[in-house]
Amino acid sequence: MSVRPVYLYNHSLLRQKTNQIDTMTDEIKQFIADMFETMNNASGIGLAANQVGDNRSIIVVDVSDTEEDEVVFPPTVFINPIIEKYSDDIIDYEEGCLSVPKLRDKVFRPDAVRVKYLDKDMNEQIIDAEGLLARVLQHEIDHLNGIYFFDRLSAVRKTLAQGKLRKIMRGDIIPDYEYLLSDIQ
Ligand code: NI
């Protein structure tokens, strides 16, 4: 296993839609193991494949260390995840992102979602998630569609974030884990 560099805002891969996969291979198993290692190394609770430079529809989630949820949800890989249903309840919650170091802001999203996905054995699964797990799933599935969390901020909050985003692109704000700067200048 190895830690991979996290691609930072606004690398072109992070603005592209990822591709679905239909077969599990040893190479993909290795890649998923690397994604878990990269996420843990950066103390993240979620990571999308395009954040480590891969255009496949894979996310890993680990909310097992958080005390928010009563039932511990184990570290899990979600392949080709799709949100099938959103709750009517919308709540705000502060989000950050390994690709956007040092920027955090409150994002409004549905409190619960139903997600259809393939597990590590390529079996179809459906999960009804709420709370932090639902939050992370929505954030990471957004990544697979080329969307950052700050895209969902109000116009005013987005404008306030611009300065920090420019600094990340220039390399003036860097994380304390392995990273790759944007290929867009
Ligand atoms: Ni993120």
The structural domains of the chain, with segments of one domain joined by +, span 6-175
Give pLDDT, residue 148: 98
Give pLDDT, residue 68: 63
- 148-170 per-position pLDDT tens digit: 999 999 999 999 999 999 999 99
Average pLDDT over residues 17-44: 98
Kindly give the distance from the C-alpha atom of residue 60 to the centroid of ligand 1, in angstroms, as a whole number. Answer: 11
Kindly give the distance from the C-alpha atom of residue 178 to the centroid of ligand 1, in angstroms, as a whole number. Answer: 15
For residue 132, pLDDT beyond 90: yes
Beta bridge partners of 47: 60
64 Cβ neighbours under 8 A, 6+ residues apart = 72, 73, 74, 75
Ranges assigned E (strand) in 11-72: 46-48, 58-61
Catalytic positions, written as ranges:
140
For residue 122, pLDDT beyond 70: yes
- 95-120 per-position pLDDT tens digit: 999 999 999 999 999 999 999 999 99
Kindly give the distance from the C-alpha atom of residue 8 to the centroid of ligand 1, in angstroms, as a whole number. Answer: 10
Give pLDDT, residue 183: 86
Place domain 6-175 in its CATH homologous superfamily.
Peptide deformylase (3.90.45.10)
Kindly give the distance from the C-alpha atom of residue 142 to the centroid of ligand 1, in angstroms, as a whole number. Answer: 8
